[in-house]
Amino acid sequence: MAPMSATSPAASPAISPATSLWERYQAHLVRYKDMGIWLDISRMRFGDGFFAEMNGKAEEAFVRMKELEAGAIANPNENRMVGHYWLRAPKLAPTADLRDEIETTRESILGFASMVHAGEIKGGMARFSDVLLIGIGGSALGPQFLSEALGAAKDPMKIHFLDNTDPDGFDRTFAKIKSLSTTLAVVISKSGGTKETRNGMLETQARYESEGLSFAKHAVAVTGRGSELDKAADKGGWLRRFPMWDWVGGRTSVMSAVGLLPMALQGLDIDQFLAGAAAMDAKTRIAKTSGNAAMILALMWYFAGDGKGMKDMVILPYKDRLVLFSKYLQQLVMESLGKERDLAGNVVHQGIAVYGNKGSTDQHAYVQQLREGVPNFFATFIEVRKNRDTVPFDVEPGVTSGDYLQGFLRGTRSALYENGRDSITISVPRVDAFTVGALIALYERAVGFYASLVNINAYHQPGVEAGKKAAARVLALQGKVRAALQAANGSPLTASQIAAGTGSDPEDVFHVLNHLAANASNIERSDAEAPGHETFRFR
């Protein structure tokens, strides 16, 4: 090509469609230049009047957010304040006591981690080398995402997770830990009564004891003051207890001790993490849609799904480190927004389904459907500008693996747009503690705004109780079924017979019987064509 003068204007006599997209791109681009974070909504097909139409709802959302940040009871159903924004800006906390607690907790986490690293706190003779985090949902997903995004092989401690109540899963995790004697168990449960976590803790305690180790000397708790777990840790003389507060929800707890303690133990930079979130909060706290990335994101979600969640949110970070971000957002978005009723009590069945893994890998999995199939989604591309921290390597002259990654991102964004599929693109300079803190803060506030736009409470989760209660009934039934088999003294019984005798549902009984027969060596199952004719007996 011919050399160009730096001052020659771009020759573009008519506005071609491409030029209009370039103009649309520039007109709507939000850039936080000091953070290097950009939000591009040019590939969302909202019309010219959209922001004006939404202005009233946005204004209302700004007002509610301001009240929430000032300490209003923003979670009316649970009569609680919602204070995760204070965790990265303690001076905004509504009382001096809260401020102190946040600051003291951060300091004690840093102090504890540095003593652990120095070997001043240890369980036995040697320095702690591993962390075993026992928690589920909001008490595990944040630490999992952070360790995947920010961890490195050279970190001072390696982290493992028990995040379920699967006995085989427990066995597998224990098999990966080299030595429990140098493993610090971190038990995390806000309520202190989560059964999965309680079970993981009991199994872990038994493991330590079976190896002749004191669990208490290897354990810390992160929990609400006075909870069951808090009391057990206190009574048992555990190494340390760190607080959780009722004004921090599980899914936004990653900047409390829940996330900060594991980070600090892994040697990750909690101050940069908090600073990134605080910086994003400062930008998105400004009560004006223009330039507010969180509000614009929320409005795009509203546009995409018509304020009814009619489109799934597909998260496509083009970076291996961010592979768990979609899982993190799945919880943050779906648990916050998936609600039956709005704040006025109307049945609305809100929510936005979230899924995704990473690009360009997912192009080889489901981008086929995204481009050609059911148009029931909008995509969010996450671009990380920095390829790698090590020396560049050319896979072709002048072309790196990272250039390909960028090419696939841009190529897929175009290919989707051409076929009428909308997308958002977020660009970040690199994956580090600051940027990850900022991304989390961006999505937390976008979720809060979106909840206001559709008039729901983002801070409770009434729907999970039904499943827990039903589970408790199944466990209670198991006791009754076992008793019935024992009482029958070796005679075979059908599910219906036991159901009639215990006033239970025969199908429920049947499931319990099959579960028992598969796991208890003293319960025998006799086959029959129909489930109703099968018998079970004690032997």
> Of 66, 176, 178, 468, which residue is the catalytic one?
468
Question: From CA 256, how far away is CA 487, in angstroms rounded?
Answer: 51
Only segment of 172-180, 235-243, 252-260, 271-279 that touches its own copies (CB under 8 A): 172-180
Residues 525 and 536: beta-carbon distance below 8 Å: yes
Residue 79 burial (10 A CB sphere; 0-12, 13-18, 19+) = exposed
Asked if 428 is part of the footprint of its own copies (rule: CB under 8 A), the reply reads no
Residues within window 64-123 making contact with its own copies, judged by CB under 8 A:
none
Strands 30-32 and 37-40: antiparallel
Residues 283 and 293: beta-carbon distance below 8 Å: yes
Residue type, 7: T
Residues within window 435-474 making contact with its own copies, judged by CB under 8 A:
461-464, 466-474
Give the x/- contact pattern for its own copies in 320-359, rule: CB under 8 A.
xx-----x--xx--xx-xxxx--------xxxxxxx-xxx
Only segment of 80-88, 222-230, 270-278, 514-522 that touches its own copies (CB under 8 A): 514-522
Which of residues 284, 289, 412, 452 is near its own copies by CB under 8 A? 412
Asked if 360 is part of the footprint of its own copies (rule: CB under 8 A), the reply reads yes
Q: What angle do CA 384, 146, 362 make, to 5 degrees?
A: 50
Q: Give the CA distances from residue 287 to residues 36, 204, 283, 291, in Å, rounded to whole numbers and listed in that order.
A: 21, 48, 10, 10
Only segment of 49-57, 83-91, 114-122, 424-432 that touches its own copies (CB under 8 A): 424-432
Q: Between the CA atoms of 175, 178, 184 and 190, what dihedral angle is there, to the nearest 10 degrees?
A: -20
Asked if 392 is part of the footprint of its own copies (rule: CB under 8 A), the reply reads yes
Determine whether 178 is an active site residue: no
Question: From CA 280, how far away is CA 293, in angstroms rounded?
Answer: 9
Which segments within 147-300 are labelled E, that is strand?
158-162, 183-189, 219-224, 240-244
Closer to its own copies by Cβ: residue 108 or 191: 191
Strands 523-526 and 535-538: antiparallel
Residues within window 279-318 making contact with its own copies, judged by CB under 8 A:
308-310, 312, 318
Residues within window 177-196 making contact with its own copies, judged by CB under 8 A:
194-196
Q: Specify the DSSP element, H or E, that contains 524.
A: strand 523-526
Q: Tokens for 178, please give them.
A: 């080299």
Closer to its own copies by Cβ: residue 60 or 340: 340
End-to-end CA distance of the chain: 87
Strand-pair partners of 244: 224
CB 179, min distance to its own copies, A: 13
CB 107, min distance to its own copies, A: 29
How many other CB atoms are there within 10 angstroms of residue 177's CB atom? 16
Which of residues 198, 240, 241, 445 is near its own copies by CB under 8 A? 198
Determine whether 468 is an active site residue: yes
CB 94, min distance to its own copies, A: 27
Which of residues 66, 234, 388, 522 is near its own copies by CB under 8 A? 388
Closer to its own copies by Cβ: residue 69 or 266: 266
Give the x/- contact pattern for its own copies in 366-385, rule: CB under 8 A.
xxxxxxxxxxxx-------x
CB 503, min distance to its own copies, A: 9
Which of these, 309, 318, 314, lies nearest to 327 by C-alpha position?
Answer: 314
Closer to its own copies by Cβ: residue 14 or 18: 18
Q: Tokens for 456, please give them.
A: 């729901």
> Of 91, 364, 396, 529, which residue is the catalytic one?
364
Which of residues 71, 94, 124, 169 is near its own copies by CB under 8 A? 169
Q: Please provide the DSSP assignment of 108-129 as one string.
A: HHHHHHHHHHTTSS-SSSS---
Residues in the chain: 539
Residues within window 1-30 making contact with its own copies, judged by CB under 8 A:
1-6, 8-12, 18-19, 21-22, 25-26, 29
Which of residues 90, 142, 402, 448 is near its own copies by CB under 8 A? 402
* Residue the block writes with tokens 């320095």: 127
Asked if 222 is part of the footprint of its own copies (rule: CB under 8 A), the reply reads no
Residues within window 516-535 making contact with its own copies, judged by CB under 8 A:
518-519, 527, 530-532, 535
Closer to its own copies by Cβ: residue 48 or 389: 389
Residue 472 burial (10 A CB sphere; 0-12, 13-18, 19+) = exposed
> Of 69, 148, 196, 335, which residue is the catalytic one?
335
Determine whether 319 is an active site residue: no
Which of residues 108, 191, 214, 361 is near its own copies by CB under 8 A? 361
Question: From CA 447, how far away is CA 394, in angstroms rounded?
Answer: 41
Residues within window 239-268 making contact with its own copies, judged by CB under 8 A:
250
Sign of CA dihedral 346, 71, 104, 275: positive
Residues within window 122-141 making contact with its own copies, judged by CB under 8 A:
136-138, 140-141
Kindly list the catalytic residues. 335, 364, 468
